Amino acid sequence: MDDLVTRNEKILNKEKTALLIVDIQEKILNVMHSPKEVISNTLKLIRGCKILGIPIFFTEQYPKGLGPTAGELLDELKDLVPIQKMSFSCSGADELFATLKLKNISQVVVCGIESHVCVQQTVLDLLANDFQVDVASDAISSRKEFDYTIALQRMSKNGAEITSTEAILFELLNVCGTDEFKQISKIVK
């Protein structure tokens, strides 16, 4: 790329990005608005991040009561250990924010449920701790569409980048014509 061209600093860079999946647990997933879309797009994010070598973290809210992460996701996340939490925000999830900083992560892609509770509080706390946050709007949900819409507005107003699964993956790719591009193109179809 031409050294004289400046790229927008908000464009995701795979060298400093992580994926955070917030509380997509079996017992509450089915009462969410568009649960199949949340699972489908979260799977695309997981698979794309694996291809690109991007670190993935996932949390479970009170797993004793809400059960484990949805099975389809666990199949893809089998090499990772869920971070269990009692706080709504992932800021209370066992040194997660410190781990991100230690790994020189400055951009965090967030997906999960519920948009207006755990996702929103996590996003606001990530922003307060100087992370850029990209919310995959098609991979988050709430029980009520109204709560989802208000959460997107609030997160955006506070500085979060509201985007989509496909936009995230192509930003992380940066260029076409690579093996990674071919693999991710198949995922998003």
Residue type, 120: Q
Is 85 a known active-site residue? Answer: yes
Catalytic residue among 49, 90, 111, 118: 118
Catalytic residue among 85, 90, 134, 138: 85
Helix (H, G, I), strand (E, B) or coil at 134: strand
* DSSP label at residue 68: S
Torsion of the alpha carbons at 146, 132, 71 and 64, rounded to the nearest 10 = -80
Is 118 a known active-site residue? Answer: yes
Burial code of 65-94, b = ≥16 C-beta within 10 A, e = fewer? eeeebbebbeebbeeeebbebeebbbbebe
Residues taking part in catalysis: 23, 85, 118
